[in-house]
Amino acid sequence: MVSNETFLPFDDARPLLHDADAIKERMEHEGYLFISQLLPEKDVREVKAAIQQICQDAGWMDESGLPKREPVLEGQTEWFTVYDRVQCLEAFHALAHHPNIVQVIEAIVREPVFVHPRNIARIVFPETGYYATPPHQDYVLIQGTMETYTVWIPLADCPLEVGPLAILPGSHKLGILPAHLAAGAGGLSVEVDDGKWEWRSQDMRAGDALIFHSLTVHRALPNKSKSSFRISVDYRYQGISQPIAENSLLPHYGRLSWEQIYSGWKRTDIQYYWRNLNLRIVQHDPSLIMPEEAKHKEEIVGLTGKSLSTIPPKTTGAISFQWRGALRTAVGFNNGDKPIPENAPVRILDITGAIVVVESVN
Ligand SMILES: O=C(O)CCC(=O)C(=O)O
């Protein structure tokens, strides 16, 4: 579907940077801001180099950044050996607090900005278009307040063939759209009438920022390049008075504790900084991430007899695989390279969207 697509470029909001009203108005109208070189390349270089070093240590890429092995996909067991180390990088978390980003968000929310600590990095192997992040809205995954803004930044140049994000301008006015199970990060896909809406995307450079409202429909373009990894970060922000879902205060994928992540850091001001704030912490509502398929078939996956939405992470039990084929291929359900036999004992590590990460407990 995406192979021969052409895109209108983003409207660059860089000329509006001195004008907070114009920034706010553009976001309200379009649901996104593209700001070229919001972060100077030198400010993202350190994080990129650290992530590349971890990928090299793991035998994923060589010293010139070329792939050394078959793709590893987000959510696979081996992917976590790299991702857990990335989550521990101080520079990766520090970049989320960059004043250039915070100033833009402040222009939008008009109050002190709260930087979510649940920061995300993406490492996308070349030639993995089949696993590109499907069209979705962040709100159902993040929750808290709809006035949450995602900032997506490539750490290395990301031309169209390496798979930057694409945006549907104005789609934040559609409300919450029904979502279906799909391959790729988040595991959920919304349907939009392509004839009516116009996707925008373009070559992005390291340090360019795409900032969008939590209801704005966006997706990743496939990484079709033969040799380039796509390395990017996605950070989230909101006004400090707005409600925030409790799991936005936990590390992404919930595998490490903050204590483990913060071990050896120099800066203390960006550790546990939310604990002294009077935040309006609300529960995450699992029904919002229930795909349409699951609404029609309660026991799509889960501990036998329970629905996906009711299983808390770290639960132990047996999985029943009513829709096993679809889940394994389409949702990235995995326990490493081996399929899990029906009703095998497993421990659920995390549930993000429709992706369930489990490990065997034999
Ligand atoms: O980088 C990706 O593939 C997904 C990013 C995304 O969907 C987001 O930042 O909300």
Distance 188 CA to ligand 1 centre (A): 12
Q: How does pLDDT run across 86-100, given as a tens digit for each residue?
A: 999 999 999 999 999
Residue 8 domain flag: no
Cα 345 to middle of ligand 1, angstroms: 32
Say how many Å lie between the CA of residue 348 and the centre of ligand 1: 23
Q: 207 and 132 in one domain?
A: yes
Atom of ligand 1 nearest to the CA of 122: 1
- Whether residues 120 and 154 share a domain: the answer is yes
Mean pLDDT, the chain, rounded, equals: 85
Whether 305 and 327 share a structural domain: yes
Q: Is 30 in the pocket of ligand 1 (CB under 6 A)?
A: no
- pLDDT tens, position by position, 263-318: 999 999 999 999 999 999 999 887 777 666 555 443 444 455 555 556 666 666 65
Residues 321, 322, 325, 326, CA torsion sign = negative
Same domain, 187 and 328: no
Q: Is residue 139 in contact with ligand 1, taking CB distance under 6 Å?
A: no
Q: Is the pLDDT of residue 332 over 70?
A: no
Residue 34: CB within 6 Å of ligand 1? no
137 Cα to the center of ligand 1, angstroms: 10
Specify the pTM: 0.84
Query: Cα separation of 359 and 319, whole Å?
Result: 11
242 and 260 inside one domain: yes
Of 282, 314, 344, the residue that ends a domain is: 282
Pair (76, 136) in one structural domain: yes
Residues 268 and 323 in one domain: no
The tally of domains found in the chain comes to: 2
Measure 129 CA to ligand 1 centroid, in angstroms: 14
Domain-ending residue, one of 266, 282, 298: 282
CATH number reported for the structural domain that contains residue 113 in this entry: 2.60.120.620
Min mean pLDDT across 46-50, 238-242, 348-352 is at 348-352
Task: Let me know whether 230 and 353 are in one domain.
Answer: no
Whose CA is closest to atom 10 on ligand 1? 138
* CA torsion through residues 158, 222, 151, 87, sign: negative
Q: Looking at residue 92, what is its pLDDT? A: 98
- The mean per-residue pLDDT over the stretch 41-45 comes to 94
- Identify the band that residue 327 occupies on the pLDDT scale cut at 50, 70 and 90: very low
Place of tokens 């429709």: 354
Residue 139 or 320, more confident: 139
Ligand 1 binding pocket includes 232 (Cβ within 6 Å): yes
Whether residue 315 lies inside any domain: the answer is: yes
Owning domain of residue 45: 14-282
